[in-house]
Chains A and B, each alone.
Chain A
Amino acid sequence: MAVTDGPLVLGIETSCDETGVGIVRGHTLLADAVASSVEEHARFGGVVPEVASRAHLEAMVPTIERACETAGIKLYEVDAVAVTSGPGLAGALLVGVAAAKALALGLGKPLYGVNHLASHVAVDQLEHGPLPEPCVAMLVSGGHSSLLKVSDVTTGVEPLGATIDDAAGEAFDKVARLLGLPFPGGPHVDRAARSGSSVAIDFPRGLTSGRDLERHRFDFSFSGLKTAVARWVEARERSGEPVPVADVAASFQEAVCDVLTRKAVDAAVRHGIDDILIGGGVAANSRLRVLAEERAAAKGIRVRVPRPGLCTDNGAMVAALGSELVARGRRPSALDLPADSSLPVTTVVV
């Protein structure tokens, strides 16, 4: 079936270790090519910025070509180019931004330098159609943990809360290391947790006490939880008892998901919003999805979560936001567009 509705947009994402190139037509996903350097980082237990930047340079043109091939389009047919301008790793962002400029220049087409977080929101329209606006977006990954109020994904993104220390995905990585599970930790903790008990150990829920809620109602903190898990595991090791990996994983995961979903639902209720949208790598967590739906349903709130492949960083999400910017007639970026590693979430287009 040939899709002819809406602008044909190519999106580039290089904010961390994935080189993503996506192609969409309107709300239809045509290609989502991703080259990941995750294996090169695995033995370091985290992403090494220079290794990621080098990998982006090598992967860029082949990934663009692969995306065009999958989409069955020629580059010259593209109506606009979108690229993650920030936030993210400065050196990594710069490779994507420079490539996008070269594409825009070479094609004579408009360029949109966009916010990575807004792209995580926009991607859902590729799977579930037009975005519910307003919605509360909860974005959770190794790099971000934020609650946003989205009234218009192209102009109106307002932060409600964010992590005050570690990102949720970072906590998963650190706990995975404590338990001897591989990097990235998210999927491995999720798998280990399936055979464990989520109530075996009562790990702390950060920023949920009465006093904390006064100042940090919609903020997160995962650093204390991570330390509590480390203490618990060390005590076990000291006493010579085996560490029940599955129970620790399940109880830790429950603590994270409990706080995330509680605050997301609270935010929606507080702002009178009927839809919650979850994105970012941690959105792929099986427990988070189940718990979010359960708690939201109890308040008559709908939850939308894109499929796992669209939750992690990818080019399709950037293309999706680009397509929306074109459709809503937003002004493109200039060719001197910078890569901004700390781009505020309120800036959707640079």
Chain B
Amino acid sequence: MLLAFDTATPAVTVALFDGERVVAERTMVDAMRHGELLAPEIAAVLDEAGLVRQDLTALAVGVGPGPFTGLRVGLVTARTLASVLEIPVYGVCTLDVLAAAAVDDGTVAGPFHVATDARRKEVYWASYDAEGRRLDGPEVVKPATVATDGPVVGRGALLYPDAFPDARGPEHPSAAVLARVVADERAELLDPEPLYLRRPDIAEPHKPKRVS
């Protein structure tokens, strides 16, 4: 039984996958409350499926890129749960999950891009072939520098219609797709390390200000 979740976007999405099908899934969109929503959602999908924690055999987690605070909630939850349950945890680039969803839904046919909201007027960005294999990225960029008339999947496309007029597919990733991606090894399986793509904002301190 695979438990999958992703907190790299405003969506907190959780799913249970039994090897063949998704047996429970929950998604809530609230960019400010990842820390509050994730654990109750995990408990809820287990309940809904009539399972207990000991039934879990593996974890899958979206490793971003994404705004740091929410992203860390998913990663520390995955690492700690994996440690206490003594089960493996697989990381997947969150943009790859959006790409897989767009391909499976048939919302894209040829090559396309994925863009999610990186805040500060930037997007997390990656490029894919028609099968959803990542060709380039992820990186964090200003929309204008990668503007395209081609199809762009994800919330980032909707936020910047001038740069991305052809917005397609799902806005947010789904843990159900994440679970399938891991089960089918459709994307590169990564360690549960965050893809921050940005260095922390820090400035070397100035000399103490004079007061007299």
Chain A residues within CB distance 8 Å of chain B: 43-46, 48, 50-51, 53-54, 56-57, 60-61, 64-65, 75, 90-91, 94-95, 97-99, 101-108, 174, 177-178, 227, 230-231, 234-235, 334-339
Contact = CB atoms under 8 A, between A and B. Distances in A.
- Among the interface residues B42, B73, B75, B81, which one has the most CB atoms of the partner chain A within 10 A? B73
Given A57-B75, A99-B80, A231-B212, 12 more contacts: A44-B202, A50-B201, A51-B200, A53-B72, A57-B72, A61-B80, A95-B72, A98-B35, A102-B81, A105-B42, A231-B211, A334-B40
Contact of A97 (B35, B81, B196, B205): B35
B60 interface: no
B80 A46 contact: no
B200 A99 contact: no
Q: Which 9 pairs, one residue from A and one from B, show the smallest C-beta to C-beta distance?
A: A106-B84, A50-B200, A102-B80, A101-B39, A45-B205, A335-B39, A230-B211, A102-B77, A102-B81
Contact of B194 (A57, A65, A98): A57
Interface string B8-51: 00000000000000000000000001011111101100000000
A105 B81 contact: yes
Contacts of A103: 80, 84
Contacts of B69: 53, 90-91, 94
A46 B84 contact: no
B204 interface: yes
Contacts of A334: 40
B114 to A, nearest CB: 24
Interface in B50-67: 52-53
Contacts of B53: 105-106, 108
A289 B64 CA distance: 48
Nearest to B35: A94
Given A94-B69, A105-B43, A335-B39, A54 B200 contact: yes
B79 interface: yes
Interface residues of B, number: 37
Nearest to B42: A105
Nearest to B39: A101
Interface string B65-100: 000110011011111110111000000000000000
B120 interface: no
Contacts of B203: 44
B135 to A, nearest CB: 29
Per DSSP, are chain B's interface residues mostly helix, strand or loop, or mixed?
Answer: helix
A178 B208 contact: yes
Interface of B: 33, 35-40, 42-43, 52-53, 68-69, 72-73, 75-81, 83-85, 194, 196, 200-205, 208, 210-212
Nearest to A104: B39
Contacts of A177: 208
Contacts of A97: 35
A46 B206 CA distance: 12
A334 B37 CA distance: 11
B39 A336 contact: yes
Nearest to A91: B69
A102 B40 CA distance: 10
Nearest to A60: B76
Given A43-B204, A61-B80, A105-B42, A53 B211 contact: no
A334 B40 CA distance: 9
Nearest to B7: A98
B58 to A, nearest CB: 14
Contacts of B39: 98, 101-102, 104-105, 335-336
Given A102-B76, A105-B81, A106-B53, A235 B212 contact: yes
A283 B120 CA distance: 41
A103 B76 CA distance: 10
B71 to A, nearest CB: 9
